[in-house]
């Protein structure tokens, strides 16, 4: 079966959000008239938003269907076919600021018998309007009591830690970190596959149905990592590690227990990392080019995403001029 697999160009699942906008059209997404598309689930095996193969012999197949058919040839020897597909890769358009929220840890989910695991994630900012901000963690000295007091008064922003961002910034968000994305930001997100979000404050706005959106205050309070002030002590932005790769410059952004995430600028033919242990996700962030392997090729443009199976070797990106890609892989470990 291994010979039937190839770099899979994916068709994303688009999610309308009250805070979404129209900027994802520039990334090749079809925005309905009057729509507020907030999230494009580029590479997703999650039941609430499956991406599918866009072309070739496997066109139309979802990631769970591919796992059932190909197993380790797709996933790799260190990724379990008995568990959900481990990564979820998105592009987000924050036309308005997102709610203040927190994601639970694996431990919390296991203790409470939840279907999804925890949700650590990381963001790479692609666009940011002047003054655009991200909220990450709590101001130093904020106690749970103070947090609850300000929340009850509708003044939670007074204890939230925030900072301005610009294109190229990366923000790491371990599970348990209070956070929010400000208006005017487009970003790429890599996360463990989960759709668990505990919304603690929504800036007193209404949802698309004209009603206040549901909050999950008790769950959020139980999930916040109070020992690290909700994440503020971890710093604001990631300091990338610069390195040279074949045909490209590479910024290694995040390497945690769940995934690795690199930002690569290509000015020549560049190989895509593949090995028998794990698959690779590739998202074109800027420019156009081709993904080539053997005698085959697929055109790629800004917003194209590819799931490269673990068994597929000799995969290269050939840019037209210069292009930029995000490369994400599951962390190496015993049966992730």
pLDDT in tens, 175-198: 999 999 999 999 999 999 999 999
pLDDT at 90: 98
Is the residue at 312 inside a domain?
yes
Q: Looking at 218, 234, 250, which one is the last position of a domain? A: 234
Catalytic entry in 17, 133, 199, 324:
199
User: Are 188 and 264 within one domain?
Assistant: no
Residue 199 among the catalytic residues = yes
pLDDT in tens, 30-56: 998 888 999 999 999 999 999 999 999
Domain count, the chain: 2
Is the residue at 106 inside a domain?
yes
Residues 6+ apart with CB under 8 A from 47: none
User: Are 28 and 82 within one domain?
Assistant: yes
User: Are 80 and 186 within one domain?
Assistant: yes
Q: Provide the token pair at 277.
A: 């242990």
pLDDT score of 209 more than 90: no
Contact 322, 266 (CB under 8 A): yes
User: Are 216 and 245 within one domain?
Assistant: no
pLDDT grade, residue 71 (50/70/90)? Answer: very high
Is the residue at 66 inside a domain?
yes
Q: Looking at 202, 234, 266, which one is the last position of a domain? A: 234
User: Are 304 and 156 within one domain?
Assistant: no
Q: Looking at 234, 268, 289, which one is the last position of a domain? A: 234
pLDDT at 73: 97
User: Are 73 and 27 within one domain?
Assistant: yes
**pTM metric for this prediction:** 0.95
| Residue numbers of the domain that contains 254 | 241-330
* 131-135, 203-207, 245-249: segment of lowest average pLDDT: 203-207
């Amino acid at each position: 079966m291994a010979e039937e697999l190839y770099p899979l160009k994916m068709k994303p699942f688009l999610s309308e959000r009250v805070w979404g906008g129209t900027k994802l059209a520039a990334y090749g997404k079809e925005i309905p008239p009057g729509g507020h598309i907030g999230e494009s689930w580029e590479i997703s095996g999650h039941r609430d938003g499956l991406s599918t193969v866009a072309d070739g012999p496997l066109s139309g197949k979802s990631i769970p269907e591919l796992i059932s058919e190909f197993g380790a040839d797709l996933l790799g020897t260190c990724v379990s076919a008995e568990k959900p597909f481990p990564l979820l890769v998105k592009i987000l358009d924050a036309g308005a600021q997102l709610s203040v929220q927190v994601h639970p840890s694996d431990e919390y989910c296991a203790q409470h018998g939840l279907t999804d695991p925890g949700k650590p994630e990381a963001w790479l900012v692609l666009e940011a309007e002047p003054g655009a901000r991200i909220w990450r963690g709590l101001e130093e000295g904020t106690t749970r009591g103070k947090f609850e007091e300000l929340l009850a008064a509708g003044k939670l922003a007074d204890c939230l830690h925030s900072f301005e961002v610009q294109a190229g910034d990366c923000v790491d968000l371990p599970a348990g970190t209070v956070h929010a994305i400000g208006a005017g930001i487009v970003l790429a997100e890599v996360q463990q596959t989960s759709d668990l979000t505990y919304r603690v404050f929504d800036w007193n706005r209404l949802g698309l149905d004209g009603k206040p959106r549901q909050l999950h205050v008790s769950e959020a309070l139980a999930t916040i990592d109070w020992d690290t002030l909700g994440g503020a002590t971890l710093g604001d932005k990631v300091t990338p590690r610069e390195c040279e790769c074949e045909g490209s410059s590479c910024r290694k952004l995040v390497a945690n227990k769940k995934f690795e995430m690199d930002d690569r600028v290509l000015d020549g033919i560049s190989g895509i990392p593949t090995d028998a242990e794990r698959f690779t996700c590739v998202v074109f962030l800027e420019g156009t080019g081709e993904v080539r392997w053997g005698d085959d090729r697929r055109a790629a443009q800004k917003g194209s995403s590819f799931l490269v199976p673990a068994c597929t070797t000799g995969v290269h990106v050939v840019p037209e001029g210069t292009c930029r890609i995000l490369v994400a892989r599951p962390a190496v470990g015993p049966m992730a």
